[in-house]
């Protein structure tokens, strides 16, 4: 009996040792050090990051690899690097934001930049005029990187023409939000091992969503098939030219897909009543377990946040960590923004 116990004890501690060796081998491959991240950093292909179309498939792959390195570093106790040392990052958010603004701030600080947050109040002046005035004033302070969010589509691109620094689009009206698409691609790749060949359904308020636009473009560049699902009133004109299959029935639209990406019902952007009521909307377009059962086995659920629980998504699905990538998306947000900032700064260093 004692001998059997000793054997069992030895087997268990051997198992523990083997596991520790396995874990440390895994750490060595998945947690590149600072030198690896430095070696992976490459100059961004353009001076600004305005649209998903600024990147091709090869560069996207390299950026995601670099971001993987930052994910590993962000899980370490000491997260501070000097890739942006001496650089000034300005966060210019004309629209409210929690996760995007704070993740750019963290990303800049972890890379050693000086970070300034500005949230100018929406002005009653013509938007173009306000924006240009602000841009010229800020430019005189000589920032190196300017992260901008604005309620007008095209604002980031307009600003890029007026300033001498690199501009990153953190959401311009209903147009694009390219770093969101990048963090979504990273979340998918880490969870399902690839993006190419997967089918992703983007569901809900496509009409008002810059997240949808950037994701359709980026996912297609990465070789995924994209479906758009939502009521006809929430589909933009010309959606048939986006290269995505359009569905108006949620169960059909997510049938057999690998990823279900839910969008927030953007009530603040709606000028008329485009949905009868939020209760009615949930009945037809809210994702719950019953509807999710139509997706492929093992399908993952995403949402860029902030979520309207009980409107486009049921808490039961959103909070189930075995299917929901929503928390991962927030973590990946910091890593991809570090990758973009490091890469843009490498380009500035070369200019
Ligand atoms: C999105 C945005 O602001 O465009 N959110 C985000 O960046 N986390 C989506 C949304 O507001 O619904």
**pLDDT, tens only, 47-89:** 999 999 999 999 999 999 999 999 999 999 988 899 999 999 9
pLDDT at residue 137 in the model: 87
Q: Which two tokens stand for residue 228?
A: 């758009």
pLDDT at residue 17 in the model: 54
**What pTM did the predictor assign?**
0.89
Looking from the CA of residue 209, the nearest atom of ligand 1 is: 4
Distance 13 CA to ligand 1 centre (A): 48
Q: Which two tokens stand for residue 93?
A: 């958010």
pLDDT at residue 28 in the model: 43
Please indicate whether residue 147, judged by its CB atom, sits closer than 6 Å to ligand 1. Answer: no
pLDDT at residue 131 in the model: 83
Mean pLDDT of 191-202: 98
pLDDT at residue 296 in the model: 98
- Better-predicted residue by pLDDT, 256 or 133: 256
Order across the sheet with 88-93: list the strands.
114-118, 88-93, 145-150, 166-172
Please indicate whether residue 99, judged by its CB atom, sits closer than 6 Å to ligand 1. Answer: yes
Distance 209 CA to ligand 1 centre (A): 8
Q: How many CA atoms lie within 13 A of 1 on its CB side?
A: 0
Please indicate whether residue 291, judged by its CB atom, sits closer than 6 Å to ligand 1. Answer: no
Please indicate whether residue 264, judged by its CB atom, sits closer than 6 Å to ligand 1. Answer: yes
Is the pLDDT reported for residue 25 higher than 90?
Answer: no
DSSP symbols for 305-345: S---BTTTB-HHHHT-TTTB-HHHHHHHHHHHHHHHHHHHH
pLDDT at residue 132 in the model: 84
Mean pLDDT of 119-146: 77
Residue nearest to atom 12 of ligand 1 (CA): 264
Mean pLDDT of 127-153: 88
Distance 317 CA to ligand 1 centre (A): 19
């Amino acid at each position: 009996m004692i001998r059997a116990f000793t054997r069992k004890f030895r087997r268990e501690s051997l198992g523990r040792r083997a596991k520790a060796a396995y874990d440390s081998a895994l750490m060595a491959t998945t947690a590149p050090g600072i030198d690896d991240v430095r070696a992976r950093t490459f100059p961004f292909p353009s001076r600004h990051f305005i649209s998903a179309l600024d990147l091709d498939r090869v560069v996207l792959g390299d950026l995601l690899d670099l971001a993987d390195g930052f994910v590993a570093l962000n899980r370490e106790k000491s997260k501070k690097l000097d890739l942006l040392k001496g650089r000034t990052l300005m966060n210019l958010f004309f629209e409210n934001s929690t996760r995007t603004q704070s993740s750019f701030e963290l990303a800049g600080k972890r890379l050693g930049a000086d970070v300034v947050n500005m949230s100018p109040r929406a002005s009653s002046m013509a938007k173009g005029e306000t924006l240009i005035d602000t841009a010229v004033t800020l430019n005189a302070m000589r920032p190196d990187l300017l992260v901008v969010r604005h309620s007008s589509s095209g604002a980031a691109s307009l600003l890029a023409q007026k300033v001498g620094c690199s501009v990153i689009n953190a959401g311009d009206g209903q147009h694009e939000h390219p770093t969101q698409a990048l963090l979504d691609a990273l979340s998918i790749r880490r969870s399902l091992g690839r993006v190419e060949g997967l089918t992703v359904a983007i569901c809900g308020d496509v009409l008002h969503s810059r997240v949808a636009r950037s994701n359709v473009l980026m996912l297609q560049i990465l070789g995924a098939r994209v479906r758009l699902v939502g009521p006809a009133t929430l589909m933009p004109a010309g959606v048939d030219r986006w290269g995505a299959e359009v569905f108006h029935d949620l169960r059909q639209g997510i049938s057999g897909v690998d990823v279900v990406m839910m969008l927030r019902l953007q009530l603040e952007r709606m000028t008329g009543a485009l949905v009868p009521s939020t209760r009615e909307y949930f009945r037809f377009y809210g994702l719950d377990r019953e509807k999710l059962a139509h997706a492929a086995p093992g399908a993952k659920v995403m949402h860029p946040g902030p979520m309207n629980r009980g409107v486009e998504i049921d808490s039961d699905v959103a909070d189930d960590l075995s299917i929901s990538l929503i928390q991962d998306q927030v973590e990946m947000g910091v890593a991809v923004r570090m990758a973009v900032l490091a890469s843009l700064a490498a380009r500035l260093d070369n200019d």
